[in-house]
Every structure is written in C-alpha cells, then in structure tokens.
Amino acid sequence: MLVLGYIVLVAVILTLAYALLILVLTLVSMRRGRFYFPRLIKPGLIVVEGLLRSLWKALRLDDRELTSFAIRLRNQMNHDQFCAIPMDKRAIFLPQCLRSADCPADLTTEGLVCKRCMRCGIGKVIDHLEEDGRRVFIVPGSTFIKRMVKKYHPRAIVGVGCLLEVKEGLEMAESINMVAMGVVTSKDGCVETDMEWDRLLEVVGLVPGTP
Ligand code: SF4
C-alpha cells in the first residue's frame, strides 16, 4: 500500500514538473516571439492541457493567448510540409458563419454552394481560393469536413474558424495524419463573422521557400 502511495506521489510530482516545464517554455516562447523546443511543447499542450490551463489561470493570464499560441505552434510545425503539397491537393474549409445573414446559397451534401452575390467576403475571394485546383467548402460543422476529406482525399487542408474550432481542427487533422494549417477569424460569433482574407489567401498559396 505504501509503495503504491509513493508511486502515485512520484507520478503527481512528475506530471506537475512536466506541466511547469511546458508552462515556462510556452511563456518564454511567447515573450521572445520564437518557439523553443516545439517538439516538446506540442505534445505537452495536449497531455497536460488541463493542468496547464489551471496554472495559466492561476497566473491570471488570458486563456485565449494559450490557445492562440497552440495554433501558431502547430501552423509553424506544419508549414514546410504544407508548402510541399501541390495546390490541387489542398482543400479549404470555411465556416458558414462568415456568410451574410441574407446569404442565398443552398445547403448541399457538400456544404453551401456560394452564389457569388458579394454580400460577404466569401463571394469576393472564393474564385482566388479555388485557383490552381484547390477545393473550397463552406461548411456548417466538422462532420462535413471529415466527410469531404474521406471523399476527396486532399493531402492538406486549411481550416478557418474561431480560436477553439481551429485548435480542435488542427488536433483532429493530426490524428488522421493530415497536414493542416489554421486561420482564425477576426470576429467571433455565430453569424456574420469576419476574417483577414488577405491572410487566408497568403496561407492557401504557400509554396516552398515562403516564410
Ligand atoms: S457571397 Fe456567397 S457565401 Fe456570401 S452571402 Fe453571397 S452566396 Fe452567401
């Protein structure tokens, strides 16, 4: 019984020490604007996420900063692989909240089909997004993403959404060995959200050699 108690105590201490190490590396990386030991931080952000968020809150830090950091880290680590994927093997998933409240698009089994009515930003950039054979989907939820990935077998995806959606999307993509990049919307909400379209065009068009 005593031995078991020691084992549990050691496990707790090791877990706490690991979480503290990830916390310090994350904070130093954020402050200095570069990623230190990314291969160590990335799994840590998942394995001890709950504990890390508790420590984060105890330090009165903004929870969103940690999520944003996790997204930037994954994007950075996926960057080179993504650049190497041909354009026609890339798929872009846009959330339906980006469209206008008066959107006339019809919902199909492959998501919404934009009619280019120009009432929202999608209509203005969708032709550019589709250039060079890239597939674009405007989807109401993650089940559509999984279905379209299964159907069209893209080798890389770009997912747009709010902080939490993008974070979870990047984790989901990794779990199915999919190269993914995430772009976060600039305005949260369920309707008429917005984003930096230039940033999205930049990401979808990444080629080897681009930063
Ligand atoms: S541009 Fe496309 S997505 Fe936007 S409101 Fe019009 S039909 Fe809907």
What integer best gives the mean pLDDT of the chain?
94
| Across 3-7, 57-61, 117-121, least confident range | 3-7
Q: Which atom of ligand 1 is nearest to the CA of 102?
A: 5
DSSP 176: T
Top-tier CATH class for 81-204: alpha beta
Alpha carbon of 184 to ligand 1 centroid (Å): 19
Ranked by mean pLDDT, the top range of 45-59, 114-128, 135-149, 197-211 is 114-128
Q: Average pLDDT of 8-36?
A: 94
Strand partners, 194: 187
- For 38, counting Cβ atoms within 10 Å of its Cβ (0-12 exposed, 13-18 middle, 19+ buried), the class is middle
CB 182 within 8 A of CB 167: yes
pLDDT of residue 18 exceeding 90: yes
Alpha carbon of 127 to ligand 1 centroid (Å): 12
124 lines ligand 1 (CB under 6 A): no
Beta strands in 61-134 (DSSP E): 90-95, 106-108, 111-113
Q: State both tokens at 116.
A: 């280019």
98 lines ligand 1 (CB under 6 A): no
117 lines ligand 1 (CB under 6 A): yes
Residue 121: the pLDDT is 96
- pLDDT of 162-186, one tens digit each? 999 999 999 999 999 999 999 999 9
**pLDDT category of residue 75 using cuts at 50, 70 and 90:** very high
147 lines ligand 1 (CB under 6 A): no
- pLDDT of 98-152, one tens digit each? 999 999 999 999 999 999 999 999 999 999 999 999 999 999 888 899 899 999 9
Q: Tell me the domain boundaries of the chain.
A: 2-61, 81-204
What DSSP string runs through 148-170? HHHHH--SEEEEEE-HHHHHHHH
